């Protein structure tokens, strides 16, 4: 970051927790599917699982069904990681007086989400703090026309100190108001 350009990276779906969940769901669903198939063919496809006591209909059939659903979900989660859904950056350029918000979406014609705003269109930085079981600590860029663009990552909430520091620093850099909701 230079004095005239600030750039904040957004991780998106390539978080460590997503890698862990994709692996756990894949191995679990593969185990369910192979156990269900073992009950169908009356042969243990997994040497450490004894499926002789499992009747294919209804137990083996249901295990195959859950195994297939789990595989589909783990493949979906793996593809969101591969495509880096939600990843990108926020760039604030004082030299050109442009704010650029870039994110990757799902493949297709709108895969690249690239928003650009002039400094003259900016109204304020809004901080939203919601405590409780599911805390939400978000920073929004308020643009003319009542639009609010989220600037913070989704999933893992930032600490209160991080949110305050980043929001105050950004409002000072952009020379716009900062308010709390």
Mean pLDDT for the chain overall? 90
Higher-scoring residue by pLDDT: 173, 136: 173
Can you give the pLDDT at residue 155?
67
Check residue 100 and give its pLDDT.
Answer: 96
What is the CB neighbour count within 10 angstroms for residue 64? Answer: 19
Average the pLDDT over 135-143 and give the result: 89
What mean pLDDT comes out for the span 144-150? 88
The answer to whether 126 and 148 are in contact (CB under 8 A) is yes
Strand residues in the chain grouped as ranges (E): 5-10, 88-93, 98-104, 112-118, 122-130, 136-143, 147-150, 177-180
pLDDT in tens, 102-119: 999 999 999 999 999 999
Tokens 């978000």 belong to 138
CA Rg value for the chain:
24
Would you state the pLDDT for residue 1? 54
Whether pLDDT at 85 is above 90: yes
Spatial distance between the Cα atoms of 56 and 36, rounded to a whole number of angstroms: 7
Residues 78, 51 contacting (CB under 8 angstroms):
no
Domain layout of the chain by residue ranges: 16-83, 86-180
- Say whether domain 86-180 belongs to CATH 2.30.29: yes
């Amino acid at each position: 970051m230079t004095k005239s350009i600030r750039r904040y990276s957004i991780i998106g779906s390539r978080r460590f927790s997503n890698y862990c969940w994709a692996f756990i769901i894949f191995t679990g669903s593969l185990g369910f599917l192979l156990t269900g198939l073992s009950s169908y063919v009356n042969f243990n496809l997994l040497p450490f699982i004894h499926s002789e006591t499992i009747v294919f209909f209804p137990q083996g059939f249901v295990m195959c069904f859950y195994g297939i659903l789990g595989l589909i979900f783990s493949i979906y989660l793996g593809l969101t990681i591969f495509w880096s859904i939600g990843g990108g950056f926020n760039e604030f350029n004082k030299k050109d007086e442009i704010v650029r918000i870039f994110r990757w979406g799902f493949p297709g014609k709108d895969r690249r989400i690239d928003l650009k705003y002039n400094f003259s269109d900016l109204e304020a930085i809004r901080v939203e703090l919601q405590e409780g079981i599911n805390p939400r600590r978000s920073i929004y860029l308020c643009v003319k026309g009542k639009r609010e663009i989220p600037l913070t990552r989704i999933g893992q909430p930032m600490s209160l100190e991080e949110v305050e520091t980043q929001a105050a620093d950004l409002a000072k850099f952009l020379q716009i108001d900062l308010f709390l909701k």
